């Protein structure tokens, strides 16, 4: 079974969705005949600067047309939901920025069989550790932690490599009609939008496995 997931590394629901998918797959992979997970690129804000100068609360309030207080309440709720999934979401430390380079890094990691590890590391770096996700030096350090070669990563980030792959993922998202993330596509025909509960994801996986077998 192939599961493609469109997401952005600054999307807390995407991190939660990753954990819920892992819970849904726990003990189920043999029944599904093995699982291949592919992370697809989706930039929530392609025009974001490398480093967002204003606090996350304020930038969210501006983006969604709400008060700063309402944005803070939304972040607090998200923190509680994350905690229920075993995640520590520390938005007070979050340093948002442009994620194009992070997505390029994920494509590079895929060529080395380390895409899921890279995705997890980027999520934790941004959501929990307050690492600047648009800073290339930070991305190089994070890539090294998952076993990628420093010089190779630097060469990619200093070039245009994998930009077309990122754009290709995003074009495909538009063709499918994806407007929000996370978005799960199972065997290219079963769609699950949003960070659905574990039991909903598990049922969708089983349903698609049965359709393939039939």
pLDDT tens, residue by residue, 164-195? 999 999 999 999 999 999 999 999 999 999 99
Structure confidence by residue, pLDDT tens digits, 8-21: 999 999 999 999 99
Place of tokens 């200093």: 158
Q: Tell me whether residue 176 is exposed, middle or buried, using C-beta atoms within 10 angstroms of its C-beta: 0 to 12, 13 to 18, 19 or more.
A: middle
d(CA 119, CA 106): 7
Q: What is the pLDDT of residue 59?
A: 84
Mean residue pLDDT across the chain = 95
Return the CATH number at 144.
3.40.30.10
Averaged pLDDT for residues 118-142: 97
d(CA 67, CA 44): 20
How many angstroms separate the Cα of 104 from the Cα of each of 9, 110, 198? 12, 10, 29
d(CA 23, CA 8): 20
Q: What angle do CA 144, 119, 30 make, to 5 degrees?
A: 115
pTM of the model: 0.95
Residue-number span of the structural domain to which 61 is assigned: 2-213
Sequence-ordered list of residues with C-beta below 8 angstroms from that of 168, at least 6 positions apart, any chain: none
Number of domains in the chain: 1
Averaged pLDDT for residues 66-83: 94
Map residue 38 onto helix, strand or coil: strand
Q: Where does the pLDDT of residue 214 fall: very low under 50, low under 70, confident under 90, or very high at 90 and above?
A: low
Q: Where does the pLDDT of residue 46 fall: very low under 50, low under 70, confident under 90, or very high at 90 and above?
A: very high
d(CA 75, CA 60): 9
Q: What is the pLDDT of residue 213?
A: 66
């Amino acid at each position: 079974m192939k599961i493609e997931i469109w997401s952005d590394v600054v999307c807390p629901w995407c991190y939660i969705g990753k954990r819920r998918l892992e819970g849904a797959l726990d003990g189920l992979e043999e029944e599904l005949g093995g699982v291949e997970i592919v992370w697809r690129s989706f930039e929530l804000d392609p025009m974001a600067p490398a480093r967002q100068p204003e606090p996350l609360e304020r930038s969210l309030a501006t983006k969604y047309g709400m008060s700063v207080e309402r944005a803070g309440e939304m972040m607090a709720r998200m923190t509680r939901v994350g905690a229920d999934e075993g995640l520590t979401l520390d938005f007070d430390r979050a340093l948002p920025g442009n994620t194009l380079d992070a997505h390029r890094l994920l494509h590079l990691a895929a060529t080395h069989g380390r895409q899921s590890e890279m995705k997890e590391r980027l999520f934790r770096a941004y959501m929990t550790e307050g690492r600047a996700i648009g800073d290339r030096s930070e991305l190089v350090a994070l890539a090294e932690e998952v076993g990628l070669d420093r010089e190779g990563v630097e060469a990619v980030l200093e070039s245009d490599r994998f930009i077309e792959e990122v754009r290709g993922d995003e074009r495909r998202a538009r063709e499918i009609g994806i407007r929000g993330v996370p978005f799960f596509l199972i065997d290219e025909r079963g769609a699950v939008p949003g960070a659905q509960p574990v039991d909903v994801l598990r049922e969708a996986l089983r349903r698609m496995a049965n359709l393939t077998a039939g």
